[in-house]
Amino acid sequence: MDEMYDAFGPEKILEVYHPRLGMKGFVVIDSTARGPGKGGIRMTPTVSKEEVFRLARTMTWKNAMADLPFGGAKGGIIADNRGLTTKQKDGLVKSFGEAMRIVSPDLWVAAPDMNMAEHEMEVFSKAVGSRKACTGKPKRLGGIPHELGSTGFGIYHAVVVALKHMKKDIKKITFAVEGFGNVGFFVTKFMCEAGAKLVGVSDSRGLLVDKEGINFNKLANIKKKQGSVTKYPGKVLPGHEILKLDVDVIITAAVPDLIKPGDVDNIKAKLIVCGSNIAMTNETEESLYKHKILVVPDFVANAGGVISSYVEYIGGSVNKMWKLVESKIKNNTALVLKNSVSKKISPREAAMRIVKERVLKKCKICKI
């Protein structure tokens, strides 16, 4: 745990427990240098303080990269979403929200993350007693739901900029997407609409592969009706095999720590865009750079959700959200790649230099 602490934070780690409901959770407020910590709540059986800290730190960098008036934070509730009734899940979220009144909304503004959506944000905000406690709420509560696809939309534009940087035509590339939840669904949709060929897509049940191309509309319909991309006609492999596919682009959109050091030599793709948070360690990212594989870091590529959250936070419109996501993701991806080339450093290192400078300029308690 001690290795979590450095010159930037974390400022607060709260662990909460409700004995009767069995709710156990935590929030890590990594930094409030640029504003209240901003970051979602995830509900999984394995979420840990260390994982939540890594995600909170990613949010510190993500908000700085997007140049938003937010710091970084993240919340986690330990529970198996699949084994809960709606009433049970609401009870856990409500008790978590009540426990977080001491920091929300002044020091932490939440949002939906894994297994959380607009309904849970309504429960959370009511439990805290403030609509400012979170974003991603239902429209009737002033929300701009993440279900609109803002994160996937931003990732798509990061891919577009990276391909332009590599002098590649999106209509002539093949790609694979790890994860077909909200993020994966929308980035796949936008990529296919732009003319890219989808040849691999995975979910928790496995990896679907079709070198001739996967029809997005057919895939979406099968996923909705049958619950898995593996029901689509084609070859099915173990999910992790996605990293070995002979494709131009891999987009991560689900689990953390997908790419391990031992995977680097097997990756054929020349571009990896991190739609999921902490898809790999920083060391693995540097290793890929040395192997001449371009990686667009998570906090650069997948900031669409938090940019959308900011627009909701200030009472902006959905139309303003789309425009701001596109402009910020495009500009930031281009800036990072330009600096990477000019300074002969990896995209992650280039991005880190930018965000650290932006946080330090505002931080009164950081160790400089």
Q: Which two tokens stand for residue 43?
A: 């509900």
237, 207 contact by CB (below 8 A): yes
Q: Do β-strands 206-209 and 235-237 pair in parallel, antiparallel, or remain unpaired? A: antiparallel
Burial of residue 118, with CB atoms counted within 10 A of its CB: 0-12 exposed, 13-18 middle, 19 or more buried: buried
- Upper half-sphere CA count for residue 244 (Cβ side, 13 Å): 10
Is 74 tagged catalytic?
A: yes
Residue with token string 């049958």: 226
Euclidean distance between CA atoms 303 and 309, whole angstroms: 10
Instruction: Choose the catalytic residue: 62, 74, 94, 189.
Output: 74
What crossing angle do the helices spanning 216-226 and 182-193 adopt, rounded to 10°?
Answer: 160
H/E stretch holding 312 reads helix 304-313
What is the DSSP track for 154-191?
HHHHHHHHHHHHTT--GGG-EEEEE--SHHHHHHHHHH
Catalytic residues: 74
